[in-house]
Structure 1
Amino acid sequence: MAAANYLSSEDQFLCSICLDVFTDPVTTSCGHNFCKNCITEHWNTSDRCQCPMCKEVFNTRPDLRVNTLLSEMVDQFRQSAQQKTSSSEQQESKPGEVPCDVCTGTKLKALKSCLVCLASYCETHLEPHLTMSGLKRHQLIDPVENLEDRMCTKHDKPLELFCKTDQTCVCTLCPVLDHKMHEFVPLKEEYEGKKVELKKTEAEIQQMIQKRRLKIQEIKHSVDLSEEDADREKAEGVQVFTALKESVERRLNELIKTIEEKQKTTKKQAEDSIKELEQEISELMKKSTEVVQLSLSEDHLHLLQSVQSSNIHHPPPTKDWTKVSVPPSYEGTVVRAVAQLEETLSKKMKKLVEAELKRVQKFAVDVTLDPGTAYPQLILSADGKQVRTGRAVRRSRTFSAAQARVPPPPPTCWKMRGPVHRCSQL
Structure 2
Amino acid sequence: MASCLLSEDQFLCSVCLDLFTVPVTIPCGHNFCKNCITEHWDTSEKCRCPLCMEAFTIRPGLRVNTLLSETVAKFIEEAKQEAEQEARSSSSSEQQVFKPGEVPCDICTETKLKALKSCLVCRTSYCETHLEPHLTASGLKRHQLIDPVEKLEDRMCPKHDKPLELFCKTDQTCVCIICHVSNHKMHDVVPLKEGYDEKKAAMVKADAESQQMIQTRRKKIKEFKESVDLSEKDADREITEGVQVLTALRDSVERGLNQLIDTVRMKQKTTEKQAKTFIKDLEQEISTLKKRSAEIERLSHCDDHLHFLQGVQSLKIQHRPPTKNWTNISFHPSYEGSVRRAVAELKDSISAPVTLTFDRPVKMKKMKKKKTFPG
TM-score (norm 2): 0.36
TM-score (norm 1): 0.32
For the pair shown, which has the larger CA radius of gyration, 1 or 2? 1
